[in-house]
Structure 1
Amino acid sequence: MKINFKYLMPLLAFLVIALSFQPVFADDSYPRTVTDLAGRTITIEKPIERIITNNPDNSRIVIALGDGDKLVASDECTVETGGCVCPMGSNNETICEACWQGVTPGGLDNLPVTNTRYTMNQEQMASLTPDIILMSSDKEADEVQEHVGVPVFVAAPDYTIDGIKKHITAVGNVLGKETEAKALNSFIDGEVKKVTDISSTIPESEKKKVYFATRGAMKGFYDAKEGRDFTRTDNKYEPLTFAGGINVAKDAADGNVNVGIEQIIAWNPDVILVACSTPEDSGVDFILKAPELQSIKAVKEGKVYNTFYPNCRGSPHDRNLINMFYIAKLLYPEKFKDINFEAEGNAIMKEFLGVDGVFSEYMDYLQFPNTQST
């Protein structure tokens, strides 16, 4: 049988053209209407591919849910200073290069900075053509949404475990990452259970009374400007409670508050914890040597310890979970001796950042976890 190429070639050309026009099926899940944690309702018209965050807590959740590759800009504490997502040293040197390079394509520290604590560049945001902006407060949300022309979703935790999980669920919902959000919340529940299964067996009469200087003691007893001082505490720090400690400030005013030195002396804690973010900012020696504090049991017995800084333009969920294990081992070393602290730290940071070994490098930099952990 002879093939007539005169007719075959036009037929082949037709088939190529026909195959190139495959039908495009609409995504029935869009547009989607969602409500943010400020009670605002927004409409998502299409799958989200480009994200701007304006604070580290939202950046961390975007990365933890597997959408770090969609970040196109963020705030200065996520990207440049403070190391609120990936750890950073006191001289702005990156710690764990694999973290900085692994959580977003091209490196987290190469993302454009579209806001600081005091300024927000809405024109730059618009030029980056995001599909959504995640903000931590509704203060400017409507203004930004109107000016930039994309939905603004407000989400931030209230820093309790339930608040963190609610935050994760909300961000997962708006990004279409509901399954990932559920898995992350299950991981958090599992980590808390590892500690509370042990701490719940400690009789109330045997629990240690703890004062936590949640802003450190870099400035001594009191610092009116930044609150980086010994008298600043928090009455509801859940990692401490989960670890089996009795927070002596539990009946103080809500949130981060300053209390009088006389009150701390009257509380007479068994243990004092001092938040520390770099090897240089330890206030432990200051507290141990302060004449005013020598009557406190923790000072007399030398039970004053550095611990991980619980704040970083928000509350870093991964480091606060690590604090839970760390405080538990400080307070009750025998009861928690079978928990491998470094392994738990690496597992937690990998869950949030997707990079293994981050915590090992971080604790080596800080130094105190290697000397205080058991």
Structure 2
Amino acid sequence: MHKKFLSLLLMGVCVFSFLISGCSPKYDETLDSKTKKLAVTDLLGRKITLNKKINRVVAIGPGALRLYCYINGSKNLAGVEQTEKGSVVGKPYMMVNPGIAKLTTIGQGGPNNSPDAEKILSVKPDVIFDTYASDKSSADELQSKTNIPVVVLSYGKQSTFDADMYISLQIIGKVVDNESRAQKVVDYMKNCKDDLDRRTKDIPESEKPSVYVGALGMKGTHGIESTQGNYSLLKAVNGKNVVDETGKDGTVMIDKEKLLKWNPDKIFIDEGGLQVVQEDYKKNPDYYNNLSAVKNGEVYSQMPYNFYTTNIETAMADAYYLGKVLYPEKFKDVDPIEKADEIYRFLLGKEVYSQMANNFGGFKKIMLK
């Protein structure tokens, strides 16, 4: 009898609560409220609505996983593309999070492949972060096939210090409920950019050494003739890039004779293509020895950062090394190795410069031989 009385009393309380809440169960109110749903606009301008609580995530396409790791590490990842399970050399986000490679495979991956909807579905993600999609229709198609929200990210045109990349990081933070971390990452990157600019913006053009950066990777390794116009890292330190004379942006494959004509004061060689340059030197040492930078011992390294698109943290570290070499007085308080590890530690949680240096050579003068 006592239990029956309590049951009736509780039922009466519930009915009373129901009536004073506007005749609407609180559970339904919560489901319909803004706190249960999250709306974001991705980098293609698509508006996506998804559950606010995200427990399982996949990041597909060139660089998507890396951006995710900057914000959330390996937390809540449900699967990974096969291409990420290969060598971790040159990919600090995988060096720091080796457990990612053990996750279920959700497709081949790679810049020339498409998402595998069936394999993605097999790991039941709550959201798909995607850098494959170049237009709304392809993103909408994947979303339709999987019935899972697809949020398109982008590195923008120049990747490092690019506004679209910042927005992508903030979107990730919003979706995974880690906006504070995302803002700290974006602020850190912007502060580094401002620091590099502040140190170098007032240097007169007449006092700047001319510079060439060669052997830059782009869908593979290349020799000295592979470079970039309007190169983002040289722009970051207001460098005098001889390639800008061409008026071209992005990857440029120059005629090697053009480099002799420019005859820059300093040359940087990307260590990803250094072996190609060394082999070419053996075949034609006279060509290289006619360059003033080679004769004067002004050839320096740059750590490679293009592996399944840009490793932003390595590119940032390279920018500081470029600045240190070009304007030592302006960077006299900067140890490039310590700065590199600070960047790795902040963005990925671990110092990995020594591993990168072991794999590629690190920051140093280069002797062609």
TM-score under structure 1 length normalisation: 0.78
User: 1:100 and 2:97 equivalent?
Assistant: yes
Structure 1, unmatched stretches of 5+, are 1-5, 89-94, 102-106, 217-222
User: Hey, what's the Cα distance between the residues in 2 that align with 1:84 and 1:77?
Assistant: 13
Q: 2:57 aligns with which of 43, 51, 58?
A: 51
What residue number does 2:188 align with?
A: 187
User: Hey, what's the Cα distance between the residues in 2 that align with 1:244 and 1:284?
Assistant: 29
Structure 2, unmatched stretches of 5+, are 14-25
CA contact (8 A) 2:173 2:181 kept: yes
User: Hey, what's the Cα distance between the residues in 2 that align with 1:250 and 1:364?
Assistant: 33
Q: CA deviation at 1:187?
A: 0.6
RMSD after superposition: 3.3
- Corresponding residue SS for 1:281: helix
What residue number does 2:16 align with?
A: none
What residue number does 2:353 align with?
A: 359
Q: CA deviation at 1:128?
A: 0.5
User: Hey, what's the Cα distance between the residues in 1 that align with 2:215 and 2:175?
Assistant: 32
- CA deviations 1:21-49 (Å, max 9, x no partner) are xx765463343332211222222134222
Q: CA deviation at 1:285?
A: 7.0
Q: CA deviation at 1:226?
A: 4.3
Amino acid at match of 2:275: D
Amino acid at match of 1:112: T
Q: CA deviation at 1:125?
A: 0.5
User: 1:332 and 2:333 equivalent?
Assistant: no
Structure that is richer in helix per residue = 2
Amino acid at match of 1:315: T
What residue number does 2:223 align with?
A: 229
What residue number does 1:144 align with?
A: 142
What residue number does 1:109 align with?
A: 101
User: 1:267 and 2:262 equivalent?
Assistant: yes
Q: 2:86 aligns with which of 61, 64, 80?
A: 80
Q: How does 1:209-224 map to 2 (within 5 A)?
A: 209-215=210-216
CA contact (8 A) 1:87 1:362 kept: no
- CA deviations 1:198-221 (Å, max 9, x no partner) are 2224221111211112525xxxxx
Amino acid at match of 2:105: V
User: 1:33 and 2:39 equivalent?
Assistant: yes
Q: CA deviation at 1:52?
A: 0.9
What residue number does 1:132 align with?
A: 127
Change (3 A) 1:82 1:235: farther
Bigger shift: residues 240-249 or 315-324? 240-249
- Corresponding residue SS for 1:345: helix
Q: How many residues end up aligned between the 2 structures?
A: 339
What residue number does 1:92 align with?
A: none
Amino acid at match of 2:182: A
CA contact (8 A) 1:169 1:178 kept: yes
- Corresponding residue SS for 1:44: strand
CA contact (8 A) 1:284 1:306 kept: no
CA contact (8 A) 1:231 1:259 kept: yes
User: Hey, what's the Cα distance between the residues in 2 that align with 1:209 and 1:51?
Assistant: 46
Q: CA deviation at 1:300?
A: 2.1
Bigger shift: residues 176-185 or 317-326? 176-185
User: Hey, what's the Cα distance between the residues in 1 that align with 2:288 and 2:237?
Assistant: 25
Q: CA deviation at 1:56?
A: 5.1
Amino acid at match of 1:148: T
CA contact (8 A) 2:74 2:97 kept: no
Q: How does 1:209-358 map to 2 (within 5 A)?
A: 209-215=210-216, 226=220, 228-252=222-246, 253-277=248-272, 281=275, 283=277, 286-287=280-281, 290-353=285-348, 355-358=349-352
Q: CA deviation at 1:230?
A: 2.0
CA contact (8 A) 2:160 2:315 kept: no
What residue number does 2:19 align with?
A: none
Change (3 A) 1:56 1:138: closer
User: Hey, what's the Cα distance between the residues in 2 that align with 1:143 and 1:194?
Assistant: 42
Bigger shift: residues 264-273 or 188-197? 188-197
- CA deviations 1:308-365 (Å, max 9, x no partner) are 1131121111111101111112223343232122221122112221x23222332244
User: Hey, what's the Cα distance between the residues in 2 that align with 1:364 and 1:141?
Assistant: 40
User: Hey, what's the Cα distance between the residues in 1 that align with 2:326 and 2:315?
Assistant: 16
Amino acid at match of 1:185: V
User: Hey, what's the Cα distance between the residues in 1 that align with 2:268 and 2:365?
Assistant: 15
User: Hey, what's the Cα distance between the residues in 2 that align with 1:236 and 1:343?
Assistant: 27
Q: CA deviation at 1:186?
A: 1.0
- Corresponding residue SS for 2:39: strand
- CA deviations 1:236-272 (Å, max 9, x no partner) are 2222222342111124322212111122222221111
User: Hey, what's the Cα distance between the residues in 1 that align with 2:314 and 2:151?
Assistant: 25
User: Hey, what's the Cα distance between the residues in 2 that align with 1:116 and 1:302?
Assistant: 42
CA contact (8 A) 2:56 2:126 kept: yes
What residue number does 1:66 align with?
A: 72
Change (3 A) 1:170 1:135: same
